[in-house]
A = this chain, B = another copy of it.
Amino acid sequence: MSSWVEGAAGSAYDADNLPYGVFVREGEEPRVGVRIGDFVLDLAPIAAAEMLDVHAVFGEPTLNEFLAQGRPVWDSVRTWLVGLVSDETERDLVEPNLVPLDEVELRMPFAVGDYVDFYASLDHASNVGRIFRPDAEPLLPNWRHLPVGYHGRGGTVVPSGTPVVRPSGQRKGDDGPEFGPSTRLDIEAELGFVVGTGTTLGDSVTADAFADHVFGVVGLNDWSARDIQAWEYVPLGPFLGKSFATTVSAWVTPLAAFHHAWVDLPGQEPEPLPYLAPGDTSGLDIDVEVVLNGEVVSRPPYSAMYWSPAQMLAHLTVNGASIRPGDLFASGTISGPAPEQRGSFLELSWGGTEPFGDGRTFLEDGDEVVLRYTAPGTGGGRIALGEVRGRIEPAR
């Protein structure tokens, strides 16, 4: 299944990966492309030339029309694409539509509908509990019974590379609340799941229908202002401590690329209620690297997550809430059991009390964070998800 495209064979963007994005060439309109090696395959002209029924969706400035097509179309397009980039006889058709990555600008790949963020890592939730409530049980009573989640701001989800302006806000001070730029700006290394096929209000998505509704996966950094969050979050949850920016990868890796990445969950105790399909859903073996100014500071393993993506979607919809193409739900911070596997600076610095790396606690102006993700591919290789990059700009 190796590609004939120059440089792609054996790389992290070989024919077993093929993530989707939206690209712009200078002077042209944004449209849908697929990454192969260090090229973007321009889908609209090639799909039109091959008279694919769905060719028009690739001329759109977002993936949403393609997302709405559903699993059978996603699968047949993927089969077609794998053939194009694997079969040498397709070279004359494909090669004129390969655009070098450095000649394009990548845009937000999909228009986000509703954005939900979960809290699905046992280690992260336990660490946060220990940091903020050192004398109490680290996990709250509901945590092992349901994937705790909340709605975030869909309109401030931005693509990799977008600068992040340090937010200002209200926080607790010694003499009452004060206002100013956040002093505890943090990251949360997460995965996001992109909804394709929607549902009607009143319906639920059972865990076994996950792949009918979820199109693919993005890397995600849920930037968090801990001082703003700590003061505002009772009793209705995080709001301005999160809503200033959430960065996703410019590439959406289709679910089909994770064929070799599904693994058993670490184990759920006690067994969840039947609607969460206990024992019937799987985790994903995706390795994450948190890179701060060029240095890897953490390696969170997604395989350690407690709740599965299918359980998150089953929970999200069990009350009849409908979903739409472009809805996004994220895992919450990915943390493993070891200290060097923690997916936030809050945990890496243990609430700011134990500096890590070169004496770091929270983010400083000018810092650049890159999240990198890889997963098992075919033939023992690995596929890469799109990176999630962001640099902190000073408060305005």
What residues of chain A have their CB less than 8 Å away from a CB belonging to chain B? 113-114, 116-117, 119, 140-142, 145-146, 148-156, 158, 162, 165, 167-170, 172, 176-179, 201-202, 225, 228, 231-241, 243-245, 270, 273-275, 315-316, 318-324, 327, 396
Contacts and interface: CB of A to CB of B under 8 A. Distances in A.
A155 B324 contact: yes
Contact of A232 (B114, B146, B154, B322): B146
Given A156-B201, A320-B165, A170 B273 contact: yes
A108 to B, nearest CB: 12
Contacts of A225: 319
A270 B146 CA distance: 39
Contact of A142 (B151, B231, B324): B231
State the number of copies, please: 2
B243 A156 contact: no
A321 B146 contact: no
A354 B319 CA distance: 28
Given A114-B155, A202-B165, A396-B320, A237 B177 contact: no
Nearest to A228: B319
26 contacts: A119-B236, A140-B235, A142-B234, A148-B235, A148-B236, A150-B150, A150-B239, A151-B152, A151-B153, A153-B321, A158-B201, A162-B201, A168-B320, A169-B318, A170-B273, A179-B273, A201-B244, A228-B319, A233-B235, A235-B237, A237-B238, A240-B316, A240-B319, A244-B319, A244-B321, A320-B396
Contact of A149 (B142, B178, B236, B275): B236
A168 to B, nearest CB: 6
A202 B146 contact: no
Given A233-B235, A233-B237, 14 more contacts: A113-B154, A114-B155, A145-B177, A146-B232, A150-B150, A150-B239, A151-B151, A201-B245, A235-B237, A236-B237, A236-B238, A240-B316, A240-B319, A243-B319
A327 B155 contact: yes
Contact of A145 (B149, B176, B235): B176
B170 A146 contact: yes
Residue with the greatest number of chain B CB neighbours at <10 A, chosen from A145, A235, A238, A244: A235
A153 B320 CA distance: 12
Contacts of A146: 170, 177, 232
A239 B149 contact: yes
A210 to B, nearest CB: 18
Nearest to A151: B151
Contacts of A142: 177, 231-232, 234
Nearest to A144: B177
B153 A319 contact: no
Contact of A167 (B117, B152, B319): B319
A216 B113 CA distance: 22
A329 B306 CA distance: 34
A142 to B, nearest CB: 6
